[in-house]
C-alpha cells in the first residue's frame, strides 16, 4: 500500500532538547511539506521541499530544520530555539506543488 507515515504518534521532550520527527512516503512524490497545527488555527507551513537536496523555508521556519537526502524521507528537527514547540505536526507529500497533498497521520509533540 502506498502512503505516507509519521513517527512517533506522540512525543514528549524536555525543554532545551532537540527532537526529530520522522516522515516517510512511498508514493514516489517529488514534493514534501511540514506543517504545524495549533488549536483554533489552520495549518501553517514550516518547510517544504520540491526535490531531493533542496528545501525552502515556510512561514514559520524559525527554530526548525529539515533535510531531504532521499526522495522518500523528509525529517523535521525541532530545536531548542523554537520558543513554543508544543503542537500537532503534519507531514504531506504531492506529485507537484499544484497537485493534491497526501497527509501523514501526524505527530503530537509536547514539551514538558
Count of CB atoms within 10 A of residue 7's CB?
A: 12
Q: How far apart are CA 81 and CA 78, in angstroms?
A: 8
Give the per-residue contact string, 82-111, with other proteins (x = CB under 8 A; - = no): ------x-x-x-x--xxxxxxxxxx-x---
Which of 41, 54, 83, 84 lies at the binding interface for other proteins (CB under 8 A)?
41
Q: Are 81 and 62 in contact (CB under 8 A)?
A: yes
Helix (H, G, I), strand (E, B) or coil at 15: coil
Which of 36, 48, 68, 78 lies at the binding interface for other proteins (CB under 8 A)?
48
- The distance of closest approach from Cβ of residue 69 to other proteins in the complex, given in angstroms and rounded to an integer, is 22
Residue where the block lists cell 514534501: 32
> Using CB under 8 A as the criterion, which residues of the chain lie in contact with other proteins when the complex forms?
4, 6, 33, 35, 40-43, 45, 48, 58, 88, 90, 92, 94, 97-106, 108
Amino acid at each position: 500500500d502506498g502512503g505516507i507515515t509519521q513517527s512517533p504518534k506522540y512525543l514528549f521532550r524536555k525543554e532545551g532538547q532537540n527532537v526529530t520527527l520522522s516522515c516517510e512516503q512511498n508514493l514516489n512524490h517529488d514534493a514534501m511539506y511540514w506543517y504545524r497545527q495549533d488549536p483554533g488555527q489552520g495549518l501553517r507551513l514550516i518547510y517544504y521541499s520540491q526535490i531531493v537536496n533542496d528545501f525552502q523555508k515556510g512561514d514559520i521556519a524559525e527554530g526548525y530544520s529539515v533535510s531531504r537526502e532521499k526522495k522518500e524521507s523528509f525529517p523535521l528537527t525541532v530545536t531548542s530555539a523554537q520558543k513554543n514547540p508544543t503542537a500537532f505536526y503534519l507531514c504531506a507529500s504531492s506529485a507537484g506543488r499544484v497537485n493534491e497533498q497526501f497527509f501523514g497521520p501526524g505527530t503530537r509533540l509536547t514539551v514538558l
